Structure formats: structure tokens, C-alpha cells
Amino acid sequence: MAKRDYYEVLGVPRGASADEIKKAYRAKAKQLHPDRNKDCKVSEAAFKEVNEAYDCLKDDQKKAAYDRFGHAAFENGGGGFGRGNGHGDFGSAFADVFEDLFGDMMGRRAGGGGRSRASRGQDLRYNLRVSLEEAYNGAQKTITVPGSVACGACNGTGAEGAVEPATCPTCSGMGKVRATQGFFTVERTCPTCNGQGQIVKNPCQECRGAGRVQKERTLSVNIPAGVETGTRIRLAGEGDAGMRGGPAGDLYIFIEVKEHPIFMRDGRMLACQVPVSMATAALGGEIEVPTIDGGRSRVKVPPGTQSGKQLRLRGKGMPPLRHGPGLNGEAGDMLIELAVETPVNLTARQKELLREFEAINADNNPQTHGFFQKIKGFWDEMKG
């Protein structure tokens, strides 16, 4: 019986990408797998046909030959692509997607896929608190980071005397072994080397074959001006050391800016609340306010100022961390919110003067007058 077109078997068009071919194969393989179709000869034949088609189309060279010559490319050893059994290398085809289908259950992912001789170290996180002044000026901080470093006794090899590890005899350095069960092949992590592909015959006494030891390290960290809570600084290669000479991970420093007793921050904007006396608010005047750079600025208070009025000092806020869309490289502003302060602990003479002032102050409180006008209108509506 003539063979069907491989693209037709997988249900993909000619010119389909490798991902599309693999996705189609996975769907067909799941649908026709013998475990789901017990004692069904038709499904078994279709399953073999699907694997034969995928075995061809997943390989760039065989796919190119098939696209040009069709099935004739593999007859009589054509082009060296024939497998001699008429069904392609089913075990190889199925193994390529076995990880996607059953990899987590079989532990195939152990040891980074099994082919790497050494594994990368883990990334580390360090939470660092800085003051608002340090966030404004930038700072150089010294931190102590616990973690693992390459073992000095074996130079990270894990072997006594820094002898290079030997190739695993069980998996021949592949980190995985195959077991054929019926007409399909199962791949699993090599039990001898745990997927490393190498074994240490004489483990280092210092690190017990791991190639790394636990140790605290002291690092100097540059805190750039403009950082804020949530800013992340990456120090490449300062994480945990890798297993058996593998590359180290990275260290990520997460910044937290401490609350300030005077200033509140919102991005590049700073704000502070400044009390003013009743007399200064009424008559106007000048007040002196602090700035985050350690300086002082004099600010004019206009006559008749009410609590909550905001004044702005240009360029007295926080610097930008970096330039980008919407950031012009200039520092933000500082907002000053005025709080009119009511005097306390008055003397008898002060109370007398305030009562005199209250008696002649009928037309000097526009907000009070407007508020009671609204109340009067509300009561009139309720009565009506």
C-alpha cells in the first residue's frame, strides 16, 4: 500500500515551522498512544505512521530531501537517509518529545538536561535599606552576603587534589540513559551520576565532592543617586558558586528607602509640611524650610494664607535614576504644605486681645461666612 504524505499524516501544511510540526506530532502521539488505545491494531499502525512522519520532518536534512523527492528519497538507501526498517527511527522520534509529555514524572530535567558537566549556581537576593539622603546623593555600601563559593581545596572540581572528574561509565557522559520498552524508548536521568555526565571517584574532603563550600562574603555596592523602594541592582557572578566549577549565579540587591522624619517622597517629588503662625498666615511673611541636600530655602508666605496651601520649590526634589521617556534628567520639585497653627497656652492678655479681634472680625473670614450661608440654605430647604 502506498505511503501517505508525511505532512498529511501530521495534519500540517507544507512549509510548516519546526514548532508547528512538533506541536502537531505531540497532539497525534497523545491521541494514538497505545496506552489510550488498548489492543487497537488500527491505532497502533497509525501511531507508527505518525512517528515515521515526524522522524523525517523533524530533521532538516531529511525534511529537505523529502520535500524534493518525496518517499523516493528514502528508498534503496537513497541519500543515506534510509533506516532499513521502513518505519524510521521511532525510538529517536518519540524520545525527542518524551520530555515534553512525561519529563517531569521521569525526572529528565534533573541536572540541567544531563548534558552539562557543571551546573550554574543559584541567584541570590539581598534586601538593603538606605536613607533618603543616601538615595538622594548616592552611596557606597558594604554588605555581608552568606552563600556558597568555589572550594579552594579542589578548585571547584569536587575531586581530591583537583583531579578532573571522570566520564560516567553508565551514560558515557550524556547524563541520561535509555530503556526500550516494546516499540518505544524511555529516557531517564542517569542513576549513577544524577544527570551530571561525570563522576568523582575520590571526592574532595573539604566540599565532599560538591566543588563549593558555604562562606560569607563582604561586597562593596554602589548605590546610584535616585534609587527608590523597589529598585533592583544586579551584581553579575556574585550569587552562589556553581556545582563542580559551573558558573556562579547573580546577586540581586533590592532597595528599600527608609521613611524620613521631615520629607515624604513620590517618585522625584518631595513634600514636607511646615507650620506657620496665625499672624504670619494672616499678614504674610517669610519662613525658612530645609531641603534634602542639607541646605535651607526662604519662602514667601502670601497674606491671608489658609491651611493646606502648597508652595513649590523648583529642582529641590529627588534626582532621576536614569534618563528615559518622560525623564529629562532634571531633579524633581519640592512641595511645601503650609499648616496654620492655632496658638495654645494663652495668657490672659492674649485671650483678651483675641476676643477683641473676634468682635471686629466679622468680614475677615470668607470661608466661614460662605459655609454658614450654605447651612442656612440647607435648613430653609428642609423647612420648606
Annotated binding residues:
151, 154, 168, 171, 190, 193, 204, 207
Distance CA 334, CA 343 (A): 27
In b/e form, how buried is each residue of 51-87, taking b as 16+ CB within 10 angstroms? bbbbbbbbbeebbebbeeeeeebbeeeebebebeeee
DSSP 199-245: E-SSB-TTTTTSSEEEEEEEEEEEE-TT--TT-EEEETT-SPPPBTT
Amino acid at residue number 94: F
Which residue positions form the known binding site for Zn(2+)? Answer: 151, 154, 168, 171, 190, 193, 204, 207
| Other beta carbons within 10 Å of 126 | 18
Question: Which position has the grid cell 523529502?
Answer: 66
Bridge partners (DSSP) of residue 275 are 339
Distance CA 167, CA 173 (A): 5
Name residues whose C-beta falls within 8 Å of residue 380's C-beta, 6 or more positions apart in sequence: none
149, 212 Cβ separation under 8 angstroms: yes
Number of C-alpha atoms within 13 angstroms, CB side, residue 48?
A: 12
Candidates 215, 121, 208; CA nearest to 159 is: 208
What φ, ψ does residue 324 adopt, rounded to 5°?
Answer: 180, -170
